[in-house]
Amino acid sequence: MAITKDMAISDIVREYPQTAQVFMAYGMGCLGCAAARFENIEQGAVVHGIDVDALINALNEIVKE
């Protein structure tokens, strides 16, 4: 399954724990905060000023490994 920008951050980290390191590397260190439970990847990326396409690519690369 490919990770998409409309998926919830918490769901992705729960399903693929290795993605936490990608979120952290992109400056999204608040994986345990309340917002991570209801924000999707695109919303979180926008709030943090992150290129969502680059983040999605990195997340999909790490789950392929």
Flag whether pLDDT at 56 surpasses 90: yes
Q: Which two tokens stand for residue 10?
A: 């918490």
pLDDT value of residue 45: 92
pLDDT value of residue 39: 84
- How buried is 45 (Cβ within 10 angstroms: 0-12 exposed, 13-18 middle, 19+ buried)? buried
The span from the CA of 46 to the CA of 63, in Å, is 22
Q: Which two tokens stand for residue 44?
A: 């979180």
pLDDT value of residue 20: 93
Give Cα separations from 6 to 41, 52, 53, 65 (angstroms): 6, 11, 12, 22
Flag whether pLDDT at 65 surpasses 90: no
pLDDT in tens, 8-55: 998 899 999 999 999 999 988 777 676 667 789 999 899 889 999 999
Q: What is the pTM of this model?
A: 0.88
Give Cα separations from 61 to 3, 29, 32 (angstroms): 10, 19, 23
